[in-house]
Structure 1
Amino acid sequence: MTEFDDPLYQLVVEACKHPPGSLPRQRNLTKVIRLVSPKLWREYTPYYQDALQQTWTYFCQNVCEKGTGEKYDPARSSITTWLNYYLRRRLQDHFIQQQKQQALQASSQVWGAKSGEPGELMNPIDLVPAPPDVPPILEAVKAWAEADATGELCATHIKGHPEVNCQVLILRRLPPETSWKALAEEFGLAIPTLSTFYQRQCVPRLRKFGESEGYV
């Protein structure tokens, strides 16, 4: 069987028939992700999930692109091989970055000891904002919550607090998520009140949407 006959490749072909951001493309790419995930390189490092997320973002952004040199070429490798190669490159990048951060931290600790100014160390790298990676699934959830076509999300709120409803909480808890502590301070409510409402009222509606779209 050639790569062109691979069922994964056929899903990619079907996905690429549809425009970026469309639900048909997202559904087919999600199917590919589910099938490829068990076959990808695994390792137990603190940065593995970050590298994996970069890989899926890369996949969704480049698998259908033409003329960029990044587009998947079934004549050269399988989809799994293509993504494993990218994943291991990202893991190597994270390893190198970790080594640099550890060296910088060690240097900062020495400097702090000499200056006699103990305190929290600030890594300059932390001051550089990371580019947002928005997977297609998150885009779909955000669009669904913002539209709230039936009005159900806005209508479902904490008693006496219509401003604290499922639409608001779902959007605020999407990556990069707002912490429960920050939300509690903003709305003047206890963290357990917010989190319990979210789990009991918002999560079931979120899951129902995911099931209807084939994400879960």
Structure 2
Amino acid sequence: MNPIDERLKQLAREAQRHPPKTPQRRLALAKLLSAIQQSRKLTRPYQGQFQGFYEDIYDEAKQRLFCHICEKIDDYDPNREVLQWVNFLLKQRFFIEASRTILPTTPKGIDPKKVSRLTLDDLDRKTCNELNPQLNPSLSQDVLQCLESDPEGVFKGTYTSDNPAANFQFLAIKLLSGYSWKEISEELGIKISTLSSFYQRCLTKFAPKFREYLS
């Protein structure tokens, strides 16, 4: 067994030795999670899929994994390597759960694995159709200007969760500026799944409006 695996196993056993919710167990768990992160051996499943959303899904999956480790450390079998245990959970359970949370629904006919979140840098390098050929309209620099001007106030006036701050104009401009769903969710206090679903519906709803403005 290599030193990393041995260290992780020692920390897991140390956490198991202490009763739940005790300071000793919390300390051991904190050290265990830190060591897992520092090992740089956490798997990154399904790379190349979920373009533009992958990092959000991966961060959510890691949070769920770490919460599970803290709550279910007694389920760990010391006969297994810790990384084998956590990587199995991350790939087979928590990444899948996180992807369903962040991409619960997409408009009919759109493959969520091929949807990209655009940034201003992307728009400088590629045309809109190259980035998101399935979305009509694709977000572009012209669309960004359209969003900001919002001649009829429809983008700002369309919002979710009874929160005027969570409007389509705000979300679209944030995403174009490179913010992640996680960052936007924390700023608004609204779940990622709610915001993502609302945003996808708005893309379809406002497609005719974008074509009208940009024609």
Give the TM-score, by structure 2 length: 0.41
The structure, 1 or 2, with the larger RCO (C-alpha pairs under 8 Å, 6+ apart) is 2
Give the TM-score, by structure 1 length: 0.41
